[in-house]
Amino acid sequence: NAGVMQNPRHLVRRRGQEARLRCSPMKGHSHVYWYRQLPEEGLKFMVYLQKENIIDESGMPKERFSAEFPKEGPSILRIQQVVRGDSAAYFCASSSADEQYFGPGTRLTVT
């Protein structure tokens, strides 16, 4: 049973480009969480999704950020028109019940 997969592991984008981060949850998990870790800061919740539904997006910036978890395929975190302040590590976690299992993260660098 493979763990939580995230790709790409490293992503470099120029200011104004779009970034797409993918998260494949563990087999059998239907809950996905996205977290962001800014440089020298702690982890912060962004969004919680179940299949085809956004359950809680209270941590998502209001503009440029969106997330989806379609019926088939991975969850996608999309950042439009990236700015330098978006540079961070983005982690997803999946769960089926209580415990959350984390992916290896995607490190986004905006130049």
Partner 1 sequence: KNEVEQSPQNLTAQEGEFITINCSYSVGISALHWLQQHPGGGIVSLFMLSSGKKKHGRLIATINIQEKHSSLHITASHPRDSAVYICAVRIGSQGNLIFGKGTKLSVKP
> Residues in the site for partner 1, rule: CB under 8 A?
31, 33, 35, 41-45, 48, 55-56, 59, 91, 93, 95, 98-105
Please state the φ and ψ torsions of residue 23, each to the nearest 5 degrees.
Answer: -140, 120
Residue 66 CA: distances (Å) to CA of 28, 54, 76, 97: 24, 10, 8, 25
Q: How far is the CB of 9 from partner 1 (least distance, A)?
A: 10
Q: Which is nearer to partner 1, 45 or 87 (CB)?
A: 45
| Sequence-separated (6 or more) residues with CB below 8 Å from residue 33 | 45, 46, 47, 48, 49, 92, 93, 94, 95, 100
Q: Which is nearer to partner 1, 16 or 61 (CB)?
A: 61
84: helix, coil or strand?
Answer: helix
Residue 7 C-beta: closest distance to partner 1, Å: 13
Q: Minimum CB separation from partner 1 for residue 16, in Å?
A: 27
Rank residues 18 and 56 by Cβ distance to partner 1 and give the closer one.
56
Judged by beta carbon, residue 43 or residue 76, the one nearer partner 1 is 43
The SS3 assignment for 5 reads: strand
